[in-house]
Structure 1
Amino acid sequence: MERTGARYADRPTVEADTWIDAPPERVWTFVSDVELMPSMSAELQSVRWLDGASGPALGARFVGRNSNEFAGEWETTSHIVEFDPPRVFAWAVEDPERPFADWRFTLRPQDGGTRLHQWMRLGPGRSNLAVLIERMPDREQQIVRIRMRQLQESIIATLAHIKRLAEAPDRARPPGPVPNPLDRRRPGREAPVVASHAGEVCGVPPLGSGSPRCRSIRPWRPC
């Protein structure tokens, strides 16, 4: 697990990888299944394709509907910017030229299975995270640090979910979503081994004791 950057302008990144006991072609079916993403996230509620698309392809667009107790509900449009089965799958959130965030999966054969790597980078687009930082410039590093911990946790949960699906003995998807350690609001959820997620709560809760200041801010859309 690696993280870089202390300020939004640094375009901070976070990444992790895992080995999966399944061939890349098998892992790819889960990595590229955009409509499977909500089952891997505590925040992403649904995904729908745009422009008549029914599956992933270079240039295809999809809308993600998100929800959390701090930001309310919002949608973002993502553009698939790299699509090379079964090796690379990447998308940019909002404007591909100045995205709110970039996300990428890479796969390569290793030891009879697959080494799956996930990477993401914030900015440089003026997302609502950037707007929040503009309102609280003295807390920028704290906001970015917490946000990146959340993103780290999200990636860990996603990789574990894909590994479980790809290694399922019956080669079928287990029914229902895999418990997501990122959502501490839902009963029965346990804290993750590594503390954080793409929780896109974006550092709002821990900015102070109870952080009443952040709770009162007008809802913003995380990446």
Structure 2
Amino acid sequence: MEWTGARYADQPTVEVGTRIDAPPGRVWDLVSDIRLMPDLSAELQSVEWLDGATAPGVGARFVGRSRHESLGEWETTSYVVECEPHRAFAWAVGDPAHPSALWRFALEEAGGGTELTQWMRMGPGRSGLSFAIDRMPEKEQKIVFVRLREFERSMTDTLTAVRKLAERTEGTQA
């Protein structure tokens, strides 16, 4: 990853991927189930659909509550901005036109299995990280670097958990 010197305004990104021995439909069922995500994340504590939504669809909203040792607790509203079953699921945190972050799962069929990628971009809208940068502007690059590394580790853990769930479920159906 090339994060050295990245500033928040640069809208830095992180991407991780894994191969899963399960078809895209099974993997899709897991990554598009926002209620499952808190079980796979140390930071995300709870998620719930808003406005009566019960499943992902472009324009659907959900609220997430998170906790981080250094950043405290916070709540965000996200908007589904891409929803193509078995292919892609993406959401913007905050204002979809100017999000504080954009997150995306991409699925690709690969020889009876699935190549799963999770990607995220910081900004361009302000986030909780912006307040830390405001307090210590001389440390912005380090703050961004550390947070990107945290995201990379968390995303890797999430994909590992999705892979284990998808493969275990596939194995029990045989």
What is the TM-score normalised by the length of structure 1? 0.73
1:120 counterpart residue number: 120
Residue of structure 1 in register with 2:51 after alignment: 51
CA 1:77/1:3 → structure 2, altered by over 3 Å: closer, same or farther? farther
Provide the secondary structure at the position in 2 that maps to 1:116. strand
1:157 aligned partner: 157
Give ranges in structure 1 of 5+ residues lacking alignment.
172-223
Distance in 2, matches of 1:105 and 1:48, equals: 18
Q: Offset of 1:36 from its aligned partner?
A: 0.2
Matches within 5 A, 1:12-91: 12-91=12-91
The Cα of 1:58 is off from its aligned counterpart by 1.0
Aligned residue runs from structure 1 range 106-145, under 5 A: 106-145=106-145
Q: Give the superposition deviation at 1:3.
A: 4.6
User: Which structure would you say has the larger RCO, counting Cα contacts within 8 Å and 6 or more residues apart?
Assistant: 2
Give identity over the alignment, percent: 59
1:34 is paired with a residue whose SS is coil
Q: Which has the higher strand share?
A: 2
Deviations 1:45-72 (A, max 9, x none): 1111100111111110000111233333
Amino acid at match of 1:49: W
4+ runs deviating over 6 angstroms = none
Cα distance, 1:34–1:3 mapped onto 2, change above 3 Å: farther
Greater percentage in helix: 2
Query: How far apart are residue 135 of structure 1 and its match?
Result: 1.7
Paired residue secondary structure (2:154): helix
Counterpart contact for 2:99–2:124, Cα < 8 Å = yes
Structure 1 SS opposite 2:35: helix
Checking the alignment, whether the CA contact within 8 Å between 2:14 and 2:152 is kept in structure 1 is yes
Q: Using the alignment, how far apart are the partners of 1:96 and 1:58 within structure 2?
A: 11
Which is further off, 135-144 or 62-71? 62-71
Secondary structure, counterpart of 1:124 in structure 2: coil
Contact 2:89–2:104 under 8 Å retained in 1: yes
CA contact (8 A) 1:43 1:67 kept: yes
Match of 1:53, SS state, is coil
SS in 2 for 1:148: helix
Paired positions, count: 170
Q: Which amino acid aligns with 1:170?
A: T
Give the letter for the 2:12 counterpart: P
Change (3 A) 1:156 1:73: same
SS of corresponding position for 1:26: helix
RMSD: 1.3
What SS class does the counterpart of residue 52 from structure 2 fall into?
A: coil
1:53–1:3: structure 2 CA closer, same or farther, 3 Å change rule? farther
- TM-score, normalised relative to structure 2: 0.93
Query: Which digits, 9 at most, give the CA deviation of each residue in 1:14-53, with x for residues without a partner?
Result: 0011110011011100010000000111111111110011
